[in-house]
Structure 1
């Protein structure tokens, strides 16, 4: 869900290369989505009848931290850190 929510709406109309990186350690996961758009991600609150624009809102709801940075190669990386469940898998 986090990775799917991160690519911004402008990517729907323009084809971009996207790279997804995942790093895991004992108690957290770091997910990064890198893409060619350098447009700043915007956290929006939208009405119930709107079908798009909730991506970062959902990321903020489930991630411990999230943010973004411009890439030296152009474009940007949007990242999210999530705490992993402790204990045996269900």
Structure 2
């Protein structure tokens, strides 16, 4: 239950103790271990090899937002400079 809450429902462990990762991303790469109390039961290494379309869109959107913000700052700066000289 904690795993599901921490991941916003993206990572779940079902009643059969199977790990499910919806929309796996690069940052999910790692070693996953299963414990029964304090005893190690199993370990698996997960490697994500291809970036998802959603991750690419997120990066594009971030760059676009930075570019727009930079443009607005430049326009406001020019506007202030132009307005301060009669």
Q: What is the TM-score normalised by the length of structure 1?
A: 0.25
Looking at secondary structure, tell me which structure has more strand per residue: 1
Q: Which has the higher contact order (CA 8 A, sep 6+)?
A: 1
Q: What is the TM-score normalised by the length of structure 2?
A: 0.25
Larger-gyration structure (1/2): 2
Looking at secondary structure, tell me which structure has more helix per residue: 2
